[in-house]
Each structure stands twice: as structure tokens, then as C-alpha cells.
């Protein structure tokens, strides 16, 4: 299972695609109680540990997040099987899902 720092680094590696998002998204990791905040509002993407205000909050395990980032699981599959829960803007979550699905 991936640890928090490797998940943050993997998101940083995808920052070019994620820069199109234009919103803040917080990933609440249900198995560790930690959070990752993705801020794609300023043209550049800031990814870091910690909570904060976000347009959408995704609740999922570190394993599910790892699978989403590496492309081993699609966002819609994670959502439909209950591994991913969304609070806040569903539209922002859908836009993020589309960006994660890009290679």
C-alpha cells in the first residue's frame, strides 16, 4: 500500500493534467485519517498534506487513491462500488475523474 508522501508525489507528477481543473479538491483518506489538498486554482497545482476549504471532498482509502492515480481503477468504478464518496460539487469531482482517466 502506498504511503501519504508517495501519493502526494504521484499527484505532483500528474500536475500538468490536473492544472486544467481550476478548483480545490481535498482527498480525505478514510483508513489513515489524513488528508491531501489539491489546489489547482492558480494555474499551477499545489499538492500537500492537510485539510482546508475545498470545492469537492473525496473520501476514499489510500489503496483506492493509489489505484486511481496509477490507472488501475477508474473513478466511476470506484464511485459505483462505494470505494469513493463525494461531498460538495459533483461537477468538480466529475471533471477531476476525466483528468485522472487521461494518460
Q: pLDDT tens for residues 61-74?
A: 999 999 988 889 98
pLDDT at 26: 92
pLDDT at 52: 77
Question: How many helices (H) and strands (E) are present in the chain, helices listed first?
Answer: 5, 5
Determine the Cα–Cα distance for residues 80 and 60; give it in Å rounded to an integer. Answer: 13
pLDDT at 64: 94
DSSP 17: H
pLDDT at 11: 84
Contact 21/40 with Cβ under 8 angstroms? yes
Q: What is the pTM of this model?
A: 0.87
pLDDT at 44: 65
Set of cell numbers at residue 33: 485519517
In this prediction, the residues of the chain whose per-residue pLDDT falls under 70 are 1, 43-44, 101-103
Amino acid at each position: 500500500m502506498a504511503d501519504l508522501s508517495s501519493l502526494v508525489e504521484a499527484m505532483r507528477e500528474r500536475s500538468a493534467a490536473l492544472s486544467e481543473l481550476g478548483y480545490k479538491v481535498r482527498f480525505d483518506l478514510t483508513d489513515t485519517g489524513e488528508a491531501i489538498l489539491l489546489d489547482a486554482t492558480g494555474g499551477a497545482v499545489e499538492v500537500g498534506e492537510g485539510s482546508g476549504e475545498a470545492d469537492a471532498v473525496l473520501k476514499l482509502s489510500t489503496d483506492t487513491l493509489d489505484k486511481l492515480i496509477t490507472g488501475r481503477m477508474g473513478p466511476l468504478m470506484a464511485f459505483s462500488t462505494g470505494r469513493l464518496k463525494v461531498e460538495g460539487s459533483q461537477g468538480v469531482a466529475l471533471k477531476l475523474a476525466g483528468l485522472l482517466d487521461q494518460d
